[in-house]
Structure 1
Amino acid sequence: MTVELRVVDPSDEAVLRDWWEVGHAAEAERPHSPWPKWAQSRVALPAHNPERELTLVTAYDGGSPVGASMFSLPTKDNDHLAFVELWVLPQRRREGIATLLSRDLDARAAAAGRSTLLAEAKGLPGTVIPGERFALAQGYQVANEEQEKDLDLTTAPSTWAPLDDEVAEHAAAYRIETFDTVYPDHLIDGIARLLSSFYSQVPLGETDLRDSEWTPERLRAHEARLVEIRRSVISAVAVSDDGEVAAFSDIRVSHLAPETAEVGVTIVAPEHRGHRLGYAVKLAGHRRVLADFPDCVRATTCNADTNTAMNLVNERMGYVPTERLLELQKRLD
């Protein structure tokens, strides 16, 4: 077997489609086949991302794509990290293709001066995750354990009345606002401050993620990219009586595939905890999604096993576990 690795030009749709097809086939066995639709990838992947430098590689056996990888470098912070993923066609596994791609990712990280690689492995609850065995053999360690969870948006809202009552009782002193993608001028400074402390406030296990410095200018650049790739981020904030942003949650929906929403960040400032603000902002965000995207029938989220508070929120909202997710970390010598 002679496998050749080729860097993908995302603006070349035929070449990009080869890369996309490998990932699509490799992810088809997962619940709900979560691989992004081609209509999404052909728009998002070529678009400039102010937060990441992205390299895509396809492994070819002759003229046929058999493997693929993604190499992503944060450009604003965490400049010791490289985020990596790889996929191999199911019928071509155990042939050394994944090892070839993994070594290529290591080399790219070293050449970029990155000391730590972060990857993920996913599998059904109660099963051995094949990707874990491979990753450990490549020098990765399990840094954190999480669960992927799904919410049926066609049925769950009918169960939220008790949560609404708790929010009304405990969060009456706070104003809840929602918006679509574009940060309101009167909220953007407070949101930037809150997001800048996110990593230090969530359980990360041994994952070497460090707080980011979010500024209004950085949020505006991020917002502009979302508009370009036709992705809405529905956000909900809780604002105290003195105007402070006390809690934030967002949930993301592609206009090109609106059936599924993905929960992003949920954070409550430490000094404002105990007022059911996590419930307040998540409920408001989910309801805004239902109002703006009537075709959205499912929401997904992911939380560390040790994130007791957020796991309880998600469970009471109706989220159910679908997969185990392992955060894998490798430190280069």
Structure 2
Amino acid sequence: MGVDIEQFNPHNQAALRAWWEVGHAATADRPGKPWPLWEQSRVALPTPNPERGVTLVAAIDGREMVGAGLVIRTLKENLHTAMAFAYVRPDRTREGIGRRLVEELEVIAAGDGRTTIQSEAYLPPGGSGTGPELFARALGYEVASRESIKELTLADFVARRDALAASAPVPEGYRVITFDTVCPEDHLASFGRLLGMLMSEVPLGELDLQASEWTPERIREAEQRQVSVGRHLLTAMAIAPDGSVAGVSDLRVDDSDPAYGQIGITIVDPAHRGRRLGLVLKTATHDLAVATWPGLVSVDTSNAEVNTWMNAVNEALGYRTIETLLELQKKL
């Protein structure tokens, strides 16, 4: 076929730009904001990440890049897993390039001792049996979980804001604090305890993922990385009457793309559920985003379809479903 699959260094800006262009073209027909701006990728991909290792690969035909892929490996926990993504330039699909990229990504992951590969496929809302899903199944990937990708226009949130505040006041005895990325020192240890619950509390379906441990040192290291790439985690934290962190939610905005945001995590300690803290916290992060980024146009998020509680929170905020996300998994 004349196409070579090669790894390349993300510090090679020409190669990185060509790689970015392939991914941009391959995702151009999807709704919402499926691909980062060039400036985001240019800064983030070459910057060391204490949480993740990333390997970039390219499909080269002569002097042209016609396919792009990446393997992401967690470095702190779930050391048996990796995530693999492959993209093919739209004018070069159905030539076997995608299959060759995936095979190379699996070789890279296996060489690092990873035995479970995870990926994603995107379909129209409620869809199934379309091209991306069939391609994944042909390569041995099964659907481990189904999620809904949702989008919120900030103008819609602002229109609902007063009604939200009336329907979900801060519970008596609790208080909500907000901050940009860097957690206050006096809540750091309790915050880490809550982060450690995340994988055991969110619906994972059949995804082979395990709980993590978040020490104060790890949190600070992760925060510094976010600051270094210009990413803001606009965070709301619920403080219980005993001073512990009862819940947390964040909304992420990049300096290089201030028109669009993305929900990161939302979790409420099981001991403090039933008080609508999820809605309280998400309202607070959106308030902070509107106040901090007046040019913010929309925010996206994703939740497991079976997570009825969080889906109800997002519906109350004004989110609407724009895509179905299939979480894929393959055991090597």
Identity of counterpart residues, as a percentage?
47
Structure 2 counterpart of 1:309, one-letter code: W
Matches within 5 A, 1:140-151: 140-151=141-152
Which residue of the partner structure matches residue 293 of structure 2? Answer: 293
Alpha-carbon distance in 2 for matches of 1:3, 1:224? 39
Alpha-carbon distance in 1 for matches of 2:231, 2:206? 32
Structure 2 counterpart of 1:122, one-letter code: Y
Which residue of the partner structure matches residue 83 of structure 1? Answer: 83
Which residue of the partner structure matches residue 29 of structure 1? Answer: 29
Please state whether the residue corresponding to 1:183 is helix, strand or coil: coil
Post-superposition offset of 1:162:
2.9
**Residues 27 and 33 in structure 1, CA contact (< 8 A), matched pair in contact too:** no
Alpha-carbon distance in 1 for matches of 2:300, 2:216? 27
Structure 1 counterpart of 2:92, one-letter code: R
The yes-or-no answer on 1:224 pairing with 2:224 is yes
Post-superposition offset of 1:171:
1.2
Post-superposition offset of 1:144:
0.2
Please state whether the residue corresponding to 1:155 is helix, strand or coil: helix
Which residue of the partner structure matches residue 243 of structure 2? Answer: 243
Alpha-carbon distance in 2 for matches of 1:108, 1:18? 21
Post-superposition offset of 1:155:
2.3
The yes-or-no answer on 1:120 pairing with 2:120 is yes
Matches within 5 A, 1:1-333: 1-128=1-128, 129-168=130-169, 171-332=171-332
Structure 2 counterpart of 1:70, one-letter code: L
Structure 1 spans left out of the alignment, 5+ residues: none
Post-superposition offset of 1:167:
2.3
Residue deviations 1:245-278 (CA, integer Å, cap 9, x gap) = 0000011000000111100100000010011100
* Large movers: runs of 4+ above 6 Å: none
Coordinate RMSD, CA, aligned:
1.0
The count of corresponding residues between Structure 1 and Structure 2 is 331
Structure 2 counterpart of 1:89, one-letter code: R
Residue deviations 1:82-105 (CA, integer Å, cap 9, x gap) = 011110011111100011011111
Alpha-carbon distance in 2 for matches of 1:156, 1:194? 27
Residue deviations 1:185-206 (CA, integer Å, cap 9, x gap) = 0111111000101011011110
**Residues 166 and 276 in structure 1, CA contact (< 8 A), matched pair in contact too:** no
Alpha-carbon distance in 2 for matches of 1:278, 1:126? 25
Alpha-carbon distance in 2 for matches of 1:193, 1:93? 46
Post-superposition offset of 1:33:
4.4
1-10 vs 66-75, which deviates more? 1-10
**Residues 84 and 106 in structure 2, CA contact (< 8 A), matched pair in contact too:** no
Alpha-carbon distance in 1 for matches of 2:27, 2:274? 39
**Residues 232 and 253 in structure 2, CA contact (< 8 A), matched pair in contact too:** yes
Please state whether the residue corresponding to 1:217 is helix, strand or coil: helix
Structure 1 counterpart of 2:168, one-letter code: V
Residue deviations 1:135-181 (CA, integer Å, cap 9, x gap) = 1000110000000000010122221323212322x612210000001
Structure 2 counterpart of 1:144, one-letter code: S
**Residues 156 and 318 in structure 2, CA contact (< 8 A), matched pair in contact too:** no
Structure 2 counterpart of 1:171, one-letter code: P
320-329 vs 150-159, which deviates more? 150-159
**Residues 67 and 97 in structure 1, CA contact (< 8 A), matched pair in contact too:** yes
Normalised by the length of structure 2, the TM-score is 0.98
Alpha-carbon distance in 1 for matches of 2:209, 2:99? 25
**Residues 69 and 86 in structure 1, CA contact (< 8 A), matched pair in contact too:** yes
Please state whether the residue corresponding to 2:9 is helix, strand or coil: coil
Structure 2 counterpart of 1:75, one-letter code: L
Post-superposition offset of 1:126:
4.1
Post-superposition offset of 1:24:
0.5
